[in-house]
Amino acid sequence: MSTTPAHWTLIGAQEALARGEVSSVELTRALLERAHRLNGAINCYLRIDDEAALAEAAAADAVRASGRSLGPLHGVPFAAKDMYYDAARVTNCGSRVRQGYRPARTATVLERLRAAGAVNLGALNMTEFALGPTGHNAHWGACRNPWNLAHVAGGSSSGSGAAVAARLAYASLGSDTGGSIRIPAAVNGVIGLKPTYARVSRAGVMRLSPSMDHVGPLARTARDCARLLRVIAGHDPLDSTSSRRAVPDYEAEIEQGIAGVRIGVPRQYYFENVAPDVKSALDAALRALGSLGARIVDVDVPESEHLTELSRVVVYSEATALHSHWLRSQPEDYSAQVRVRASTGLAIPAASYLEALQLRPLLLRRFVERVYRQCDVLCTPTLVQPVPTLAETDVGGGAAMWPIIAALVQNTAPFNYLGVPVLSVPVGFTRNGLPASCQLVGRPFAEGLLLRVAAAYQSVTDWHERVPPTA
């Protein structure tokens, strides 16, 4: 393990704390100092909560010294996207509309992390109201990719991906409505997990599209994600949609290995317009999985292009409904691009929205029956093209910008509509020196299997250990 505490994994930091090699205050100070030093360039934190974080760390150290029982993340610093409500902190949702908002209650997932002993470092940058896949933000400034500051950090959980990659937090929370955990994870070279719809409570988290919103973690290893998921998953009375299914021990599942696991490579849609260097990185990852005993099989995947369109219908219809009051009362407080996106649902007939919702269980059942008859885990590129630049995706980029943005969500949006679990895993670098990633897609509630495959892959590769040059 590195001698630099900020370079440790989440579990590495937790184990060092358990052995008494470092205190939570020391870890927290190290990450806070690093965040203040690097955030001016990366802009991944909107707010760094030094005083509150150090108080939480000191309390964690006091509990440890007292001999009382400790949580599975006791004393480990993390950070959350600026849309997780905390009664003790301001939540801006990356916007001017909600600037200075003080919520009345704290998000359930933050309460669960706090109960597990984790230390919250602050609020992470995001696309305004989570409406966009690039990380541009006209009000708070774009978050920049720590691998190359001229490139996007992804969206909408831009700060969540960049902070973990730059070693400014051991883990983070993001949200995913069309790819907003997986895209930032992919472009920053970290792991991002979109759990099964309803696996994790969304109570106290800003809504964008309630039918499509997912809450999940970003970290550097599959084992880190496994521990985080076990802490935050499970039924919540404050979220009536949350599943009552028991939460398994994901870390124990990781130990089972992947001999005989069928990894499916789709014949349709997901490799359309794929760049040669992205495909090369994915092919090498599949060979590595094969060497560990997995079976690589080609599979037919039905109707994916329709799933993308259906996801847009649902997202924009619900987003417009949620924003309608502010769009009427304070339209000038939106950036131009986000105002247009938040208004898109006005052009979608109610019948189309209702049809998209009614088709969802039918298409999910068909997807599961057809795909997982052929394989256990589906594997696709997360992004089909290398990570674009901030200039290429800026609102002033004109017509050339839109195909680039469409390519960012090509492979992610279908799985929000279906609600199945998806894990984005770094698999190398493309010709521009930025990360490439694959998506592992499972049947509902198969997070443990996805984490097993990712952990096995990380056991024979070191992409997750690479540190960005700006960090």
Query: How many CB atoms neighbour CB 246 within 10 A?
Result: 9
156 a catalytic residue = yes
180 a catalytic residue = yes
What's the fold here for domain 10-299+373-465? Amidase signature (AS) enzymes (3.90.1300)
In contact, 134 and 154? CB cutoff 8 Å? yes
User: Which backbone phi and psi does 340 adopt, to 5 degrees?
Assistant: -65, -45
In contact, 427 and 285? CB cutoff 8 Å? yes
Tell me which residue of 436, 455, 407 sits closest to 280, measured CA to CA: 436
Please identify which of the residues 81, 157, 172, 242 carries the catalytic annotation.
81
C-alpha to C-alpha distances, 371 to 33, 274, 304, 311, nearest whole angstrom = 48, 21, 12, 19
The tokens describing 352, both together, are: 């189309």
List the beta bridge partners of residue 120.
78
Helix axes 158-165, 24-42, angle to 10 degrees: 120
CA atoms within 13 A on the CB side of 87: 6
Cα end-to-end distance, the chain, whole Å: 17
pLDDT string in tens for the chain (471-residue length): 677 999 999 999 999 999 999 999 999 999 999 999 999 999 999 999 999 999 999 999 999 999 998 999 999 999 999 999 999 999 999 999 999 999 999 999 999 999 999 999 999 999 999 999 999 999 999 999 999 999 999 999 999 999 999 999 999 999 999 999 999 999 999 999 999 999 999 999 999 999 999 999 999 999 999 999 999 999 999 999 999 999 999 999 998 999 999 999 999 999 999 999 999 999 999 999 999 999 999 999 988 989 999 999 999 999 999 999 999 999 999 999 899 999 999 999 999 999 999 999 999 999 999 999 999 999 999 999 999 999 999 876 667 888 999 999 999 999 999 999 999 999 999 999 999 999 999 999 999 999 999 999 999 999 999 999 988
Helix (H) or strand (E) holding 370: helix 350-371
Angle, CA 44 vertex, CA 48 and CA 147 arms, to 5°: 140
Please identify which of the residues 156, 160, 211, 437 carries the catalytic annotation.
156
In contact, 162 and 462? CB cutoff 8 Å? no
In contact, 220 and 192? CB cutoff 8 Å? no
Please identify which of the residues 24, 157, 158, 180 carries the catalytic annotation.
180
Cα(34)–Cα(347) distance, integer angstroms: 46
What is the number of helices (H) and of strands (E) in the chain? 15, 13
Question: What is the pLDDT, as a whole number, of residue 361?
Answer: 97
Residues 6+ apart with CB under 8 A from 255: none
Cα(321)–Cα(204) distance, integer angstroms: 19
Which residue is it, tokens 């964008």? Answer: 208
Sign of the four-CA dihedral 215, 47, 78, 56: negative
Cα(79)–Cα(94) distance, integer angstroms: 15
Give the start-to-end residue ranges of the domains of the chain. Answer: 10-299+373-465
279 a catalytic residue = no
* 20 burial via Cβ count (<10 Å: 0-12, 13-18, 19+): exposed
